[in-house]
Amino acid sequence: MPKEQRAVFLSQDEIPTSWYNIQADLPEPLPPPLNPGTLEPMSPEPLFRIFAKELVAQEVSRERWIKIPEEVMEAYRWVPRPTPLMRAYKLEQFLKTPAKIYYKWEGVNPAGSHKPNTALAQAYYNKKQGVERLVTETGAGQWGSALAMSSAYWGLKCRVYMVAASFRQKPGRKIMMETWGAECFSSPSNNTKFGRGLLQKDPNDPGSLGIAISEAIEDTLSDDKTRYSLGSVLNHVLMHQTVIGQEVKKQLEILDVRPDMLVGNIGGGSNFGGFCLPFMGDKLQKKNEIEFVACESKAVPHTTKGKYTYDFGDTAGTTPLLKMLTLGREYKNPPIHAGGLRYHAMSPIISYLIANGHMRSIAFGQKEVFEAGVMFARTEGIIPAPESAHEIKFVIDEAKRCKESGKAKTIVFNNSGHALLDLAAYEAYLSGKLEDWEPTVIAYPSFVK
Ligand SMILES: *Cc1c(COP(=O)(O)O)cnc(C)c1O
């Protein structure tokens, strides 16, 4: 065994004190959100009825650093942060690769993924403003769990619309949310007009993230003391997640290691954004030459086959239009286990960076992804979330390429969560029942802007 460290821990005094806002360092401002009625740039005010005001302000801010309130710092210590940076020795040895592989491990909190980094912050700003209830949607259940836990922390009510397909696949997630005091409904549901309409057409509608978002927004608008909360995609969500990348920077400095490549998975773009944007900011200022690689599912090829255009964030078409890499808001919920990677579009920030060549993306099928996840579990111990297994697939391939070429690259990836509530997916893989799936036709949105 090499004598280098297996894990690098930071002390709780070293939690970053500000969030990093990449909007300050982009070569040009992001394309603005558009009003779907007029197709004109939208002012932020109408969003105050949907989101906490402070979060809307953060969404459009171009200040480079936004100070984390002391109350949120306390919540980060509670969850707890910082998280360790790990060295994947056993995986390296198994692959006989000269590559050095490190990963940030975000699965160590009670919700099991990176999502509490923004859930705790969002719930705080809502609480501070006097909001009494949060409503949201969840795909695989990780976001709903994180918001339920964070609502319990701040003493808020919480209601979660969970995509029906996952609701059936993962009963454990609902139990977690209810244990933390939240309500969890299968979506489409009978709670909303939109949901009732869909159920009338098909009582077994598998749902989708877009549908669940439409339901959550409709529910939010029915009550004055309620606000909506989104777990990914938006600028402020990626910004809250930058505590991840800022910690990684410090941890790599302690090791005196400079990464050649940063890798992660992209569902809506929040964990990879939080992990890589602090380094991307430096790259845009020519301070490093790191290669950035975003991994997605072949079943939802939002950035490898998506179109960079304006689209709605939800299926009903109620949100402002955002310029994103998108497969169209009516993209059908594909039968894959990585629930967190099933969103039809990609965050405006990550979309901009990919569309302008600052990072690249690559898609994998679920069989090869789970093969990589199992290899990781057998060498590293951690059973990675199906989402995280996507970047692990890429990292293993890259490590093999390093072996062939003799190049000892330093690869760092963000291990976004564990799979202990997704074991049915591993069971399907281990018993040979997993199938690959790819779309044949994609109905791209037709906005011309
Ligand atoms: C939600 C989730 C994802 C995907 O969402 P992003 O916003 O792209 O991060 C990835 N991994 C895990 C473990 C998740 O819970």
Distance CA 311, CA 347 (A): 11
83 within domain boundaries: yes
**pTM, whole model, 2 decimals?**
0.97
Would 206 be classed as within a structural domain?
no
- CA-wise closest residue to 62 among 33, 25, 34, 31: 25
Q: What is the CATH number of the domain that holds 388?
A: 3.40.50.1100
- Residue 99 sits at φ, ψ, to 5 deg, of -65, 150
Does residue 370 sit within a domain?
yes
Whole-number Å distance, alpha carbon 415 to ligand 1 midpoint, is 10
For residue 399, tell me if it sits in a domain.
yes
Residue 384 near ligand 1, beta carbon < 6 Å: no
The answer to whether residue 261 sits within a structural domain is yes
Find out whether the peptide bond into 171 is cis, omega within 30 degrees of 0: no
Q: How long a stretch of residues is the chain?
A: 449
The answer to whether residue 158 is domain-embedded is no
Q: What is the pLDDT along the chain (449 residues), one digit of tens a residue?
A: 446 789 999 999 999 999 999 999 999 999 999 998 899 999 999 999 999 999 999 999 999 999 999 999 999 999 999 999 999 999 999 999 999 999 999 999 999 999 999 999 999 999 999 999 999 999 889 999 999 999 999 999 999 999 999 899 889 999 999 999 999 999 999 999 999 999 999 999 999 889 999 999 999 999 999 999 999 999 999 999 999 999 999 999 999 999 999 999 999 999 999 999 999 999 999 999 999 999 999 999 999 999 999 999 988 888 999 999 999 998 887 877 887 888 999 999 999 999 999 999 999 999 999 999 999 999 999 999 999 999 999 999 999 999 999 999 999 999 999 999 889 999 999 999 999 999 988 888 876 45
| Ligand 1 neighbourhood includes 107 CB (under 6 angstroms) | no
Q: Which residue's C-alpha comes closest to atom 10 of ligand 1?
A: 387
Q: Does residue 337 sit in helix, strand or coil?
A: coil
Tell me the C-alpha distance between 107 and 84, whole Å: 10
Domain hosting 270: range is 7-14+70-112+241-430
Q: Is residue 22 left, alpha or beta, with left meaning phi > 0 and alpha meaning psi from -120 to 50?
A: alpha
- Assess if residue 343 is contained within a domain: yes
Cβ atoms of 351 and 323 closer than 8 Å: yes
Start-to-end C-alpha separation, the chain = 56
Task: Confirm if 153 and 179 have CB atoms less than 8 A apart.
Answer: no
Query: Which residue's alpha carbon is at the smallest distance from atom 7 of ligand 1?
Result: 270
- CB within 8 Å of 28: residues ≥ 6 apart: none
From 83, 105, 113, mutation site for ligand 1 pocket: most ligand atoms within 8 A of C-beta: 113
Burial class (CB in 10 A: 0-12, 13-18, 19+), 5: middle
Pocket test for ligand 1, best of 106, 271, 342, 346 (most atoms within 8 A of CB): 271
Residue 224 has a CB neighbour count (10 Å cut-off) of: 10
Tokens 């697939």 found at: 393
Q: Which residue has the tokens 């689209």?
A: 311
d(CA 308, CA 86): 35
106 lines ligand 1 (CB under 6 A): no
Helix residue spans in 206-256 (DSSP H): 209-221, 235-240, 242-255
Domain presence at residue 185: no
* Closest C-alpha to 177, from 211, 208, 152: 152
Distance 232 CA to ligand 1 centre (A): 8
For residue 222, the model assigns a pLDDT of: 96
Count how many domains the chain has: 1
Ligand 1 mutation pick, 83, 104, 115, max ligand atoms within 8 A of CB: 115
